[in-house]
Structures are given as C-alpha cells and as structure tokens.
Amino acid sequence: MEVDGPFQANTSSAQLSGALAGLSIALLPADLTAPHMAAGQLQEVLSDYASGAIRVHFVYHSRRHLPRAVAALIEFAATTIKDLSLMQPASPKDVLVKRGSPQH
C-alpha cells in the first residue's frame, strides 16, 4: 500500500478526499465509500478493524421543560439522518479503505 506523506483530517469528507487522492487510508461509513468502491477508486483494507455501530446521542438537562428549539433540533437531526441514510438503524458496518482496485 502506497501512501504519499503525512495527512490528518477530522471530517469524513476530508478523510474520503485524502483516501481518494492516495494520501491515506480512512475509516469511513460503508454508505459513503460504496460508490467509490464500486467504481474501483477505493478498496477495503484491514477488514478485521471495522469500528462497528456508531451511535448519536442528544444530551439535554430534562425532558420536563425541553425548549421548543431543542425539541425541533432533535427532530430535524433525526429526520435528516434517516432521510439522507447517513446512518442505518440495524448494525451498520464501517470500512477501512484506500485508493485503488481490489487485488485478486
């Protein structure tokens, strides 16, 4: 596996860009990498190191007097995550990818 120098990123889009450019490997959600893997731009590596499910939690003080704005934000985020298929409710699989086609 060839990697061209140090690369650090703290967002999935930057990690994906780095992997596509051949700068790094990246641990990313399968839904994000699937089109690139199908096109042969990325390949799965280190499959034994998948991170498993990623959970999102909304933390707030109390439900009793939950401000409307907070309730609206929670509803909006949950709906958006579901509608855009950003996370799957049943055991999502993250994959570690690098640039290139799978080796046979």
Residues 6+ apart with CB under 8 A from 50: 27, 93, 94, 95, 96
CB-based contact 33:16 (threshold 8 Å): yes
pLDDT tens digit at each of 104 positions of the chain = 565 567 888 898 999 999 999 888 888 888 889 999 999 999 988 877 766 666 777 787 777 888 889 889 988 988 888 777 766 554 444 555 555 545 44
- For residue 83, the model assigns a pLDDT of 79
The pLDDT of residue 27 is 86
Which residues on neighbouring strands pair with residue 44, listed in sequence order? Answer: 97
Distance CA(70)–CA(45), nearest Å, equals 40
Q: Tell me, what's the pLDDT at 53?
A: 62
